[in-house]
Structure 1
Amino acid sequence: MTKAEIAELVSTKGGYSKKDANEMVEVLLEQIKKTLERGDKIKIAGFGNFEVKKKSDRRGRNPQTGEELTIQSRRVLAFKPSAVLKNAINENS
């Protein structure tokens, strides 16, 4: 599903104009992005949690040369689905 498809769904189900629906989706996604950039968690009941985690430096190896190197620390985005979402996915499989 694309951002445009989400906006279309908001427009038809919510009774909003396409322009307003696009704006709402943009504002929502921008706010989610800014919240995660700050390192804050996002909890959406019945859907799941988004969290930025920090990975420490670690040793790695170049697969082509076999040379050992250090992989720098970084932040990664983690998503943990809620039990409600997990159950919904597994019921339809």
Structure 2
Amino acid sequence: MAKAATKKAPARKATATKAPAKKAAAKTPAKAAAGKTTAKTAAKAAKKPVKGAAASNGILTLRTIADTLSEMHELPRRQANEILTQVIELIAKSLKKGDKIRLSGLGILQVRKRAARMGRNPQTGEPIKIKASKKIAFRPAKELKEAV
């Protein structure tokens, strides 16, 4: 067993040394392209959101929401972040109790119960029992559907 462990250790080091080389190779073309300014690049830069707006990768995080709220309402960022955190905790507690949460203009969050059922193991095909569970369901509001 000791021999097997020593053989695996060098393999891990080898993969660790390969990963930075790939990253360096991936960064080199990006750096070269960064020096060139084209009309497309300038247009993308103009469209880039200002601090506090949605992230450039299309994901809106709690941090960006907190930053936007702090700018809009002239609050410290820390206070806006605490408010959002408390709202999320309140929603989680309400869902845990089994309450429905209606957010006008956004939709309804509620806990739904899934009954126990029989399923199949996809690899072996043998039947298995799946326990009853709860899941959080979101039903979007009409305004949100129309906006999207």
Q: Structure 1: 5+ residue runs without aligned partners?
A: none
Number of the residue aligned with 2:20: none
The structural deviation recorded for 1:20 is 0.6
- Report the TM-score, using the length of structure 2 for normalisation: 0.59
Distance 2:144 2:73 in 1: 22
Number of the residue aligned with 2:104: 45
Letter in 2 for 1:60: G
SS at structure 2 position matched to 1:25: helix
Letter in 1 for 2:112: K
Distance 1:67 1:53 in 2: 28
Distance 2:66 2:114 in 1: 34
Larger radius of gyration: 2
The structural deviation recorded for 1:3 is 1.2
Runs of 4+ in 1 over 4 A off after TM superposition: none
In terms of fraction of residues, the more helix-rich structure is 2
Distance 1:78 1:26 in 2: 21
The structural deviation recorded for 1:6 is 1.1
Number of the residue aligned with 2:128: 69
Number of the residue aligned with 1:9: 68
Q: Structure 2: 5+ residue runs without aligned partners?
A: 1-59
Letter in 2 for 1:29: I
Identical pairs, percent: 39
Letter in 2 for 1:28: V
Number of the residue aligned with 1:20: 79
Are 1:80 and 2:121 an aligned pair? Answer: no
In terms of fraction of residues, the more strand-rich structure is 1
How many residues of Structure 1 are paired with residues of Structure 2 in the alignment?
89
Deviations 1:41-87 (A, max 9, x none): 00011110000000000110000010101110000000000000000
Larger relative contact order (Cα-Cα within 8 Å, sequence gap ≥ 6): 1
The CA RMSD over aligned residues, in Å, is 0.7
- Report the TM-score, using the length of structure 1 for normalisation: 0.93
